[in-house]
Chains A and B, each alone.
Chain A
Amino acid sequence: MQSEENSHNHIHDDHEALIVEDDAGNLEGQIIIDALQSVLIARGLLTAPEVAKAIEKLESPGIHQGAGIVARAWTDAEYKDRLLENGKQAIGDIGIAVGEAQIIVVENTPQTHNLITCTLCSCYPRSILGQPPSWYISKAYRARAVREPRRVLAEFGTVLPDDMELVVHDSNADMRYLVLPEPPANLADLATSELEALVTRDRLIGVTR
């Protein structure tokens, strides 16, 4: 995942620190969590295997699931219609367990580009894509994605023509969002695995096209 994290070419230096480590390499948050877990286990409120299972559940979703959804929509028009109509239902139909109340899939076209953010916190379709990238959680991205979205996109290397409509989606409440990118021109020549390989996390958020 690390190489994917760094695959786009904007500068990451000014992002907020998510992890605070002391000189001995201890993570402040980890020390607090470990202490809390010890207390909860000692009180019989929690078991270590339950914690491990919860972590596994959090970490098992990933971009591959989003790629599978997009490749299916690119190659099956009837599925695409259902996906745009009721994202949660259509994604559940291909065997992905969606934990969010609803998934709204927004379609990029030659005339329209969609960008996803969450200004109030870090809402993201986690049950499908896993955890969001650190920049998605940063206050700078959250504020700027609604205030100057075209400048943010340009920093990701995505320069939209002036006559293309940009729609920013703020995931502020109960819905979660996925962007359906445009299919490649040579769609018919590509196998499903090749199509899935074209679908990156950044395209699913809409910071790239």
Chain B
Amino acid sequence: MTRIDHAGRRFRDGDPVRVIHLGKSGHVRIPFYVRGKRGEVVRYCGSYLNPEDLAIGDTGGPVVDLYRVKFAQRELWPGDDQPEGDSLVIEIYDHWLEASGHQEARA
């Protein structure tokens, strides 16, 4: 199989996750519109040097796991009238994610 695998990663395809609010400034690649939002892991992308470190010249690692996470458009923009099936997929580094039970009541 050519698909990247890494046995020690925290999340698997299909896992429900939530993007956490890290109070980090600088070259952060996680846009505000997904912070606090609940989605589902759809693909593991491998592990990469953290852009938050690279931006300040720190190329020593460690590498961090990167996942593609899918969100319903209605989760991202709850006030909008977007079709139920529409979604958005974005890449999120491991340290911005926490496990999330989808059965929880949504805020």
Residues in A lying within 8 Å of B, measured CB to CB: 82, 85-86, 89, 101-102, 104, 119-120, 146-150, 162-163, 165-175
Report which of A102, A146, A166, A167 forms a contact with B45, defined as CB distance below 8 A: A102
Minimum CB–CB distance from B84 to chain A (whole Å) comes to 9
Interface flag for B55 (CB, 8 Å): no
- The verdict on B59 contacting chain A, using a C-beta distance below 8 Å, is no
Can you sample 26 A-B contacts with CB below 8 Å? A82-B2, A85-B3, A89-B2, A101-B48, A102-B45, A119-B33, A146-B33, A146-B76, A146-B88, A148-B80, A150-B82, A150-B83, A150-B86, A165-B85, A165-B87, A166-B73, A166-B86, A167-B86, A167-B87, A168-B73, A168-B87, A169-B90, A173-B29, A173-B51, A173-B93, A175-B91
Residues of chain B with a CB closer than 8 A to A174's CB? 45-46, 48, 66, 91
Instruction: Say how far A38's CB is from chain B's closest CB, in angstroms.
Output: 27
Q: How large is the interface on B (under 10, 10 to 19, 20 to 34, 35 or more residues)?
A: 20 to 34
Q: Is B99 an interface residue (CB 8 A)?
A: no
Which residue, of A86, A147, A162, A163, has the highest number of chain B Cβ atoms within 10 A? A147
Contacts of A148 in B (CB 8 A): 80
Question: Which residues of A are found within 8 Å of B90, using beta-carbon distances?
Answer: 169-170, 172
**B78 contacts the other chain (Cβ, under 8 Å)?**
no
Q: Which of A101, A102, A162, A170 touches B88 (beta carbons < 8 Å)?
A: A170
- Is B89 within 8 A of A169, CB to CB? yes
Query: Contacts A147-B77, A150-B82, A162-B83 hold; do A172 and B29 have CB atoms under 8 A apart?
Result: yes
Is the CB–CB distance between B31 and A172 below 8 Å? yes
**A165 in contact with B2 (CB, 8 Å):** no
B68 close to chain A: CB less than 8 A: yes
- Docked CA distance A101–B46 (Å): 10
The answer to whether B2 touches A85, judged by C-beta atoms less than 8 angstroms apart, is yes
Give bound CA distance, A169 to B89, whole Å.
Answer: 5
A166 contact set on B, CB distance < 8 A:
73, 83, 85-87
- Nearest to A111 among chain B residues (CB) is B85
- Bound CA span A172–B33, Å: 12
CA distance A171 to B89 in the complex (A): 9
Contacts of A167 in B (CB 8 A): 70, 86-89
Knowing that A170-B90, A174-B91 touch, tell me 10 more A-B residue pairs with CB under 8 angstroms.
A86-B2, A102-B45, A146-B33, A162-B83, A163-B85, A166-B83, A166-B85, A167-B87, A170-B91, A172-B31
Give every chain B residue within 8 A of A165 (Cβ-Cβ): 83, 85-87
